[in-house]
Amino acid sequence: MAKFLNGFMVKEAHPNSPDFIKCKVSINIPSITEAFAEFDNEWINLDIKRSKEGKLYAQVDEWKPESSEEGEASGDDVPF
């Protein structure tokens, strides 16, 4: 299920903006503070996407690497 960050809005850059400005972000402090309380991580990653209607939006990236002990090398496995 997609998660969105309340209080975080992404807009197209103004047409007269320099080329290096790609988009504008607006943050509502009270709303974003409340939204942050839902997360127990130190970081929140966002993907900026474009809807089918052409508008920009931000979606929380919840990808986490799989933790497995198989990928860990012991001293005996080192090739040198």
Residue 75 belongs to a domain = no
d(CA 13, CA 80): 52
CA distance 12 to 56: 7
pLDDT digits (tens, 9 = 90+) for 20-71: 999 999 999 999 999 888 888 889 899 999 999 999 999 999 888 888 665 5
pLDDT at 19: 96
In a domain, 71, yes or no: no
DSSP-assigned letters across all residues of 52-79: TTS-EEEEEE---PPP-STTPPPGGG--
Only one residue has tokens 């402090």, namely 29
Task: Please tell me whether the overall predicted TM-score, pTM, comes out greater than 0.85 for this model.
Answer: no
Residue 72, pLDDT > 80, answer: no
Q: For 23, phi and psi rounded to 5 degrees? A: -160, 170
pLDDT value for 65: 85
Domain that holds residue 49: 8-63
Q: Say if 13 falls within a structural domain.
A: yes
